[in-house]
A and B are shown apart, each in its own frame.
Chain A
Amino acid sequence: MDVLLIHIINSLLYASVLFLIAGGLSLIYGVMRIVNMAHGNLYAFGAYVTAWAVGTMAAGAPVPVLLMLLPVGALAAAILGAILEPTLLRPFYRRAEEYQLLVTFGLLMILEDLMRFIWGPYPLSASEIFENFGSLTIGDVIYPTYNLLVIGVGAAAASFLWAFIYRTRFGVVLRATSQNMRMAAALGVNVNRVYVQAFTLGCFMAGLGGAIIVPSQSAVLGMGIDAVVLAFIVVVIGGLGSLEGALVGAVIVGFVREAGIAWFPEIELAVLYLAAATVLLARPAGLFGRP
C-alpha cells in the first residue's frame, strides 16, 4: 500500500516537470504554430543556470538564500527566449513548416554546445537544497521532502497559467492571436509583441522545470534532447497547442513511465512512444487538440 503511494507520488513528480516542459512547448505551438525542437535545451539551460548559481556561485550560503536563487534558471531561460524569438525565429513565420523545424534543430545543436562551452562536460549539481529538505516517512518508506515541493510548484504553475490565460486581458489577447492571427492583427493586436511574450513565457516554464528538478538530479549534457522527445509525446497525446492536453498528457506519461520502471523496465520507453503513436492514430489532433 505504501509502495503504491510512493509510486503515485513519483508519477506526479515526473508529471509536474513534464508539464512545465510540454506546457511551454504547447503554448508556443498554440500561439505561433512553431514546433520548437530546441525547447528541451531551454529546460537544460534553466537547470544549468540554477545549478551554477546554487551549487557553485553561492555554495555554502544559508538555505533560504539558495531557495531564493532557485528561480534564476527560469528567468535566464526566459531572457534567452526573449532574445531568440525576434532574432532567429521571426524570419521564418512566412516560410514552410519544414524550415522552421530545421532552424530550431540547428538551434538545438548550437545551444547544446554552448552549454558544454560555458559549463564544461561534467555534471553540475545543486544537491545542497535537496539534502537540506531532509526526508519524511510515509508508512515505513523514507521519502525525500523536496520532491513534494516539486509537485507543489508544478501544480502552482498549472493553476497560475490557467488563471493567466483564462482570466487576464493578456490571456484574451493570447487566445485571440492563437485562434486567428490575422484577425487579431486587424483588431489592433501587436502580433509581434504577443509572439515574443508567448515564446518568453514558454521558455520560462521550461526553465522553471529545469530549475526545480536540478537539486534532486543534476544538470548533464543531453538532458534537453531526452526531455524534448518526452515533451513531444506529452503534447501528441494531449493535443498540440492545448494546455489542458499538456496537463493530462503529462499525468498519463508520468504514470505510464512510473509503472514502466516498476513492472516492465525493458519496454518502458517503447510503450510510451507506442502510446503516442496509438493516440495519434485514434485522434490525430490529440485528446484535447483542435483538429
Chain B
Amino acid sequence: MSAPTRVLGQPRAGSSSRALLVAAPIAALLAVVPLVVPPYGAILLAYGLVMAIGALGFNLLLGYTGLLSFGHSAYFGVGAYSVALMVKYLRVGSMELFLLGAIVGSVIVTAVFGIVCVRYTRIFFGILTLALSQVLWSLAFKFFWVTGGTDGLRVPTPSLFGGLVTGAGDKTVFMSHAYYYYVLILFGACVALMWVIVNSPFGMALQAIRDNETRAEFVGVRIWRYRWVAFLVSGVFTGLAGALWVPLNGLTTPDIMHWTFSGELVFMTVLGGFRSFAGPVVGAIVFNYLKTYAVGYTVYWQLVLGVVLVTLVLSLPTGIVGSAEKLLARFQRSRP
C-alpha cells in the first residue's frame, strides 16, 4: 500500500464535465431499458440498481476511508425493516414516507454503531461491525411477534410521488415501469450525491485518512469524527437501498441482516473494483446477474460465486473497472 495510492479513475481538476459526458449516455441507455426488454429484464436491472446504491454507500468506507465493514447487511436490513414495520404498525403506503422512515432509522442505528466502530481499523473494525450486525439479525430472528421471525414481513406495492402513481393493476407492469423509473431516479440522485461527497474537501480528508492516518491527524483532520460521518453516510445509502429493495421483493426476512449478506456487498464492490468510483455500481449490477443466473442454473451457485471471488482476488484485484481502465490505458499508449 506504500505505492502512490491515488484512486484510479479519480477525477482531475475540471473533470466533472468529463464524468457527465460518460454518465449521460449511460443514463439514456438505462432510461430506455423498460421499453425494449421484457418486464423480467427491467425488474432484474432494478434489483441491480438498488444493490448498486448499497454498494456505492459501502465503498465510501472501503474504497475512500479504508475500512472494511463486514456488517453492512445491518443497515440494509434496517432500511428494509423500517419500511415493513411502517406498513405493519402505521399502515403507511407512500414510498416517500418509506424512504424518510428508512433514512431516520438508518441514521439512528449507524450513529450509535458508528460511535463504537470508528475507533478501530483493519480486522477489528471488520469483526466489530460483524458482531453488531449480528445483534440486529438475532433480534429480527427471535422477536417474531414484531418482525415475523423467519417468515418475515410482507410489504405491498407502495404508491409513488405522493400518490400520483399507485400500484393498482398488474404488479409486474408497475414494477417494470413506474417503479423501475423511480429506482432509476433515486439511483441517479445517489450517484450524483456520492460524486459530490467524494470530491468535496470532506471526501479528500477521508482519502487522506485512508492513506496515512498519522499524517492526516497532523494536518488537523479529526479522524474519528470524519470516520464517523463517513460511517453514517455509508450506512444511510445502504439503508436507502434496503428501503427500495423491499417493495421490489415484496417481503423482508432476517436473511438480509445475516452477515453472509454483508459478504455479498463486499463481493460486489470488489468485483467492480473498490479503487474506482464506478466500481461498486458496475460490480453490483454484474453480481446481481451473476447470482441470479447461477442460482437459476445450479443448486451449487455458492460454489460458482466462491470460485469467481477467489479467482478475482487472485488475478484481478482491481476489479472489472480497474482492469478495464488498465487495458484502456495500454491501448491508448500503444497508439501513436
Contact = CB atoms under 8 A, between A and B. Distances in A.
Contact of B306 (A113, A273, A284): A113
Interface stretch (A10-18, A92-100, A201-209, A246-254): A92-100
B116 A106 contact: no
Interface in A1-59: 35
B306 A110 contact: yes
Contact of B299 (A110, A116, A269): A116
B313 A269 contact: no
Size class of the contact patch on chain B? 35 or more
Interface string A250-279: 000000000000000111111001101100
A40 to B, nearest CB: 11
Contacts of A269: 134-135, 138, 141-142
B293 interface: no
B161 interface: no
Interface in B17-65: 62
Contact of B307 (A105, A106, A233): A106
B85 interface: no
A266 B68 contact: no
A277 B116 contact: yes
B303 A277 contact: no
Nearest to A96: B1
Interface centre among B62, B70, B306 (most CB of A within 10 A): B306
B270 interface: yes
B247 to A, nearest CB: 28
A229 B134 contact: yes
B132 A277 contact: yes
Main secondary structure of the interface of B (DSSP, over half): helix
Contacts of A114: 303
Contacts of A233: 131
A99 B302 contact: no
A106 B139 contact: no
Contact of A266 (B122, B143, B266, B308): B143
A284 B127 contact: no
A225 interface: yes
Interface string B106-127: 0000000000100110111011
Contact of B142 (A35, A107, A266): A266
A81 B322 CA distance: 32
A116 B131 contact: no
Contacts of A116: 299-300
Q: Give 9 nearest A-B pairs by CB, closest first.
A: A109-B306, A269-B138, A106-B309, A113-B303, A110-B306, A106-B310, A109-B302, A273-B135, A113-B302
Interface of A: 35, 88, 91-92, 95-99, 101-103, 105-114, 116-117, 225, 229, 232-233, 236, 240, 265-270, 273-274, 276-277, 280-281, 284
Interface of B: 1, 62, 68, 70, 116, 119-120, 122-124, 126-128, 130-132, 134-135, 138-139, 141-143, 259-260, 263, 266-267, 270, 299-303, 305-310, 313-314, 317
Given A110-B307, A284-B120, 13 more contacts: A106-B309, A107-B306, A109-B306, A110-B302, A112-B306, A113-B303, A116-B300, A236-B131, A266-B143, A269-B135, A273-B134, A277-B132, A277-B135
